[in-house]
Each structure stands twice: as structure tokens, then as C-alpha cells.
Amino acid sequence: MNQHVTGLPERGLRLMRVLTRGHFHRRWDIRLRGQGYVPERGPVILASNHIGWLDGPLMFVTAPRPPHALVKEEEFSGRTGHLMRFVGQIKTARGRNDTGALRRAVQVLEADQCLLIYPEGLRGDGEFHVFKGGVAYLALVTGAPVVPVAIVGTRLAGEPSGARPAKGARLDVVYGKPIQFPMQSWPRDHGMIEDAGEQILDHLRDHVTRVKDVLKRDLPGPLPTGTPDV
């Protein structure tokens, strides 16, 4: 770990992973592939598709390294908020450019920790038809590799975004080959970030396509009409 940068606390994060892992594996048929693509040390960005409510908890419990995720600010209230802080998650505002959240994400990576991000921003079809550029900025600022993650099974076709998988449901989490860019110091212009974003987006889409072919499974498609994409 970079001894000159203090990352986010991980004691609570590691503890909760241990306490909840058994429950998850007893309740669902969780199948993990490609974990070897996640470097054992150093900064790494896990860039996952986002189809259902369980995506976050599933990654929290099963990721090869303890992940600090960018989590919508609405979750940081009451008991849930205390839990989010205890396990070192990052509060972010989705409706604006949250520079504070970006600074904390950079802090995580500069401390050689693992950052989890959902580039689509909201739950949806998981095909990366929507893409937020924050992951490209973080990849360029820190030089961290971006590991694509495809989640399949946490929501079925026709189900709303908050649906819970049935007990015993098969949940696939597949990691892919990283994409990485040299660390870019100032100046970083808009065109540089846009170009990196296009390359990352193509990489994420290709990974999802390969995963569907290998698993012989489809993603759930768009959310039902009128369903909030929270």
C-alpha cells in the first residue's frame, strides 16, 4: 500500500464481508468467474453493470478485494447511513458533478485500495447503453486498471429495479481483462477524458457480450414502464 496516502478505513468493511458471506452463499447459487483478473494489490477500479437492487450487496460480499463503492447519497440516512459509513462506502450525489465524491475515490485509489463503480449510474438493462464518464477521469488521474464486471441474474426480465432474486436463484459475477491508461498529470483536457471513456465503454460492452455468449444467459432488458431506475 502507498504509505504516503491514507485511504478509507477497511476494518468494518472486512468484518461485514466475513459476517455476511455465508448467508449469501446459502441463499443463492453464486457463481464467480475471472477473479484472477483483479490484481491482488495496488489500485484497481471494478466497473460493473447495474441491473438490480442486489448488485451492490453482492459485489460487497463476493469481490476478490474489499470494495469501496460510490453509493447514492439517499442511502446515507438513518441506520443504513451509519452502516454505509462503518463499511467505508463513498456518498455521492447523482444529479450533479460531485467533486467531493471524486476526491474520495481518488484517495481510495492513491492508497492502493479497491474502488467499485457503476458507470451506468442507475439500474437498467445492464448493457451499458448509458455511460457516465467518471470512471475515465479516475483511470487517467490514478493510472489504476479498470476491470470490467458483468452481473447476471439479480433481476429477471419484466421485474422492477427493486426486485429481490428468489432463494436458490443463480447469480453470475464475471470479471474480465483489465483496461489501463498511463497516469495523466495536468493538463487533462476534455478530449483526453472523452477518448479514454470511449475506449472503456467499448471494453465494458464487449465484456458483457462475451459473458452472455459464454453463460448462454441474457440480461433482463429495460425496466418496466413507470418503474424508477433507482
pLDDT tens digit string along 71-102? 988 889 999 999 999 999 999 987 777 899 99
Instruction: Return the ∠ at Cα 146 (arms to 208 and 62), rounded to 5°.
Output: 70
In contact, 159 and 220? CB cutoff 8 Å: yes
Mean of per-residue pLDDT scores for the chain? 94
The yes-or-no verdict on residue 58 having pLDDT over 80 is yes
- Domain assignment present for residue 221? The answer is no
Confidence of residue 226 (pLDDT cuts 50, 70, 90): confident
State mean pLDDT over 56-79. 94
| Total domains, the chain | 1
- Domain assignment present for residue 162? The answer is no
Place of cell 447495474: 50
- Domain assignment present for residue 219? The answer is no
In contact, 148 and 203? CB cutoff 8 Å: yes
- Domain assignment present for residue 23? The answer is yes
Question: What is the residue range of 183's domain?
Answer: 11-157+168-214
- Domain assignment present for residue 41? The answer is yes
- Domain assignment present for residue 120? The answer is yes
The yes-or-no verdict on residue 135 having pLDDT over 60 is yes
The percentage of the chain sitting over the pLDDT mark of 90, rounded to a whole number, equals 84
pLDDT at 190: 84
Give the pTM: 0.94
How many helices, marked H, and strands, marked E, lie in the chain?
6, 7
**Pairing, β 90-92 against β 44-48:** unpaired
pLDDT at 187: 67
- Domain assignment present for residue 101? The answer is yes
pLDDT at 3: 54
Instruction: Return the ∠ at Cα 80 (arms to 77 and 82), rounded to 5°.
Output: 80
pLDDT at 225: 87
- Domain assignment present for residue 142? The answer is yes
Confidence of residue 2 (pLDDT cuts 50, 70, 90): low
